[in-house]
Amino acid sequence: MVKGALFSCIILFIGCSEKREQAPKWTDEDRQFLIEEMERTTKLLWVVIRDLDEQQANYKASEEDWSILEIVEHLEVQNELHYREVSSQSRGPELHEYAPLCAGRDSIYAGYSSNPKKGKSGWYMDPIGRFSDLDAAFNALVRVRDHYSDFLEETESNLRVHFVFSDPRGNPVLEDLKPGDVRDLHQLVLTGLAHTVRHTKQIEGIKNQRGFPISSHYDQD
C-alpha cells in the first residue's frame, strides 16, 4: 500500500514537472525586443513633438478633441498604470492553464498601432491637466519608461505565465474565456507600445490639419 502511494506520488510529480516544462518561455529575444521597442517608440514620439511651441501643443480643432499636450499626458498615465500592473502581476503565482489562450496572438496586440477602429480609454486615463507644458509631460513619460525598461531588463519572472483579464472580477473560470479575454504580460507591454505608436500617428495627423498654428519659432526673415 505504501509502495503504491509512493508510486502515485512519483507519477504525479513527473506529470507536474512535464506540464511546467511545456509552459511557454519568455525568451531573451522577447525581453530584448520589448526593451528596444520601448526606446524606439519613445524616440519616435519625441521626434514628432520636439519642435512644438505652447500654442501648437495646446491646439484643438474642436472642444471634443484632445490637444497634443493632452495626448502625451494620456500616454504618461497609461504607461504608469501598465508598469504598475505588469510589475505587480509578475510577482503573483504562475497560471500556466491560461497560456494556450494567448499563444500566437502577439501580432494582434502589436497590430493595434494601425487598427482603424477608434478606441475608448477608461476615465482614469483621461487628461485632466496634470502637466504645465509639453516638456513636463514628456519628461514624466520618459521617467516612467526608464523604470519600465529597468524592470523588463531585470525581472526574473516568466511574463508568458502571468496574465491580465478583461473581466474586472479577477481571474475568471478558464472554461468561460475565449481568445482575447486574456493577455499574458508580454502581450500587455506590446499593447502599450502599439498604443504609443497609435497616438504618435494621431499627433502627426493633428500637425497636418489645416488650422494647426504656425510655429512661433518660425523665422520670418
pTM of the model: 0.85
Where does 27-207 sit in CATH, by number? 1.20.120.450
What is the per-residue pLDDT across 153-167, written as a single tens digit (0 to 9) for each?
Answer: 999 999 999 999 986
Q: What is the pLDDT of residue 153?
A: 98
Gap between the Cα atoms of 68 and 78, Å rounded: 15
Average pLDDT over residues 44-66: 97
Confidence of residue 112 (pLDDT cuts 50, 70, 90): confident
Gap between the Cα atoms of 175 and 31, Å rounded: 30
Give which of 90, 91, 75 is closest to 184, Cα–Cα.
90
Q: What is the pLDDT of residue 218?
A: 56
Q: What is the pLDDT of residue 53?
A: 98
3-state secondary structure 81-133: HHHHHHHHHCCCCCCHHHHHHHCCCHHHHHHHHHCCCCCCCCHHHCCCCCCCC
What is the per-residue pLDDT across 164-218, written as a single tens digit (0 to 9) for each?
Answer: 998 655 667 787 888 889 999 999 999 999 999 999 999 999 999 999 999 876 5
Write down the domain spans for the chain.
27-207
